[in-house]
């Protein structure tokens, strides 16, 4: 195990199962799905393991966002960067003039930067530590009109599957509307990464009348990992 920061929630690279807390061992077993370059020193805080998007899923989402976003969108904002799974995939494309990665937890942001260095894309990303809602309102307000927002928010922990259908109105700490309302003030193209069991009726409440709302399941080895809902005008192939 190697540590890059002295912190109560340090960035750690676990190299054997006996180092890994029981609650995250399931994710550590999937580590090479999550980051194919895990063994080069990928780091995470313990709590950030739950929410990382596995690399093949992140790559497919990045390709979909790059292809379907309006041509006028030149900036991508990853509002909950976590330890960088999605941000790294977005930065591997040359589609974006600017990529902003926002993360509230300084230790988690440090892991993301470190991981992006392993993938050779750290310098292509503008890293911002802080609360995404206040940053979108202040520092990034000038990006209106040219921006796509991608958000993979916390879902209230790994117990999100306990209910058969996941209630997006009571999602913690941010409900669907807590996310959608402020994001839609900056951009009309918003991609939200949500539980595969999400209540689709709650998503349709945000769909404009008569307009298509794209909801995609992203799968790994035949199992859905999560969905992405795409609000706004995306250029999907017919
Ligand atoms: P999972 O269901 O916790 O695990 O997460 P697993 O082993 O992939 O599924 P299982 O049914 O085989 O047990 C599935 C995927 O959801 C993960 O790979 C993450 O990409 C994503 N994910 C899980 N959680 C708890 C969160 C979260 O809180 N936020 C976000 N953004 N993604 C999450």
Average pLDDT, the chain: 94
pLDDT bucket at 1, cuts 50 / 70 / 90: low
- Specify the pLDDT at position 211: 83
pTM to 2 decimal places: 0.95
Q: Which residue out of 44, 47, 53 has the highest number of ligand 1 atoms within 8 Å of its CB and is therefore the one to mutate?
A: 53
In this prediction, residue 4 has a pLDDT band, given cuts at 50, 70 and 90, of very low
Query: How high is the pLDDT of residue 6?
Result: 40
Question: What's the pLDDT at 74?
Answer: 96
Decide: 51 in ligand 1 pocket, CB within 6 A: yes
Q: Is 90 in the pocket of ligand 1 (CB under 6 A)?
A: no
Residue 5: what pLDDT? 43
Q: What is the pLDDT of residues 104-144, one digit of tens each?
A: 999 999 999 999 999 999 999 999 999 999 999 998 888 88
Span 33-56, pLDDT tens digits: 999 999 999 999 999 999 999 999
Indicate the pLDDT class of residue 67, thresholds 50, 70 and 90: very high
Q: Is 53 in the pocket of ligand 1 (CB under 6 A)?
A: yes
Q: Which atom of ligand 1 is nearest to the CA of 82?
A: 31
Three-state secondary structure string covering the chain? CEECCCCCCCCEECCCHHHCCHHHHHHHHCHHHHCCCHHHCCCECCHHHHHCCCHHHHHHHHHHHHHHCCCCCCEEEECCCCCCHHHHHHHCCCCCCEEEEEECCHHHHHHHHHHHHHCCCHHHEEEEECCHHHHHHCCCHHHCCCEEEEECCCCCCHHHHCCCCECCCCCCCCCHHHHHHHHHHHCCEEEEEECCCECHHHHHCCCCCCCCCEEEEEEECCEEEEEEEEECCCCCCC
Residue 111 has what pLDDT? 98
The pLDDT of residue 169 is above 50 = yes
Q: Average pLDDT, stretch 66-73?
A: 96
Q: By alpha-carbon position, which residue is closest to atom 25 of ligand 1? A: 158
Per residue in 180-215, pLDDT (tens digit) is 999 999 999 999 999 999 999 999 999 988 888 999
Smallest CA separation from ligand 1 atom 18, residue: 53
* Minimal-distance CA residue to ligand 1 atom 20: 53
């Amino acid at each position: 195990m190697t540590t890059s920061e002295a912190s109560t929630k340090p960035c750690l690279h676990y190299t054997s199962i006996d180092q890994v807390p029981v609650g995250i061992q399931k994710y550590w077993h999937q580590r090479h799905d999550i980051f194919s370059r895990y063994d080069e020193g990928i780091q995470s805080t313990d709590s950030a393991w739950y929410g990382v998007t596995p690399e093949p899923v992140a790559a497919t989402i990045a390709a979909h966002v790059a292809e379907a976003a309006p041509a006028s969108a030149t900036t991508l904002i990853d509002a909950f960067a976590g330890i960088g799974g999605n941000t790294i995939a977005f930065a591997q494309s040359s589609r974006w003039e600017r990529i902003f990665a926002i993360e509230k937890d300084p230790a988690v942001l440090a892991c993301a930067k470190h991981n992006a260095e392993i993938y050779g894309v750290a310098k292509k990303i503008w890293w911002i530590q802080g609360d995404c809602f206040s940053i979108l309102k202040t520092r990034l307000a000038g990006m209106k009109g040219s921006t796509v927002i991608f958000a993979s928010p916390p879902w209230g922990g790994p117990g999100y599957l306990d209910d058969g259908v996941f209630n997006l109105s009571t999602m913690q700490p941010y409900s669907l509307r807590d996310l959608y309302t402020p994001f839609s003030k900056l951009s009309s193209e918003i991609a939200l990464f949500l539980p595969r069991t999400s209540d689709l009726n709650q998503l349709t409440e945000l769909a404009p009348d008569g307009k298509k709302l794209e909801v995609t399941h992203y799968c790994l080895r035949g199992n859905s990992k999560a969905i992405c809902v795409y609000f706004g005008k995306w250029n999907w192939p017919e």
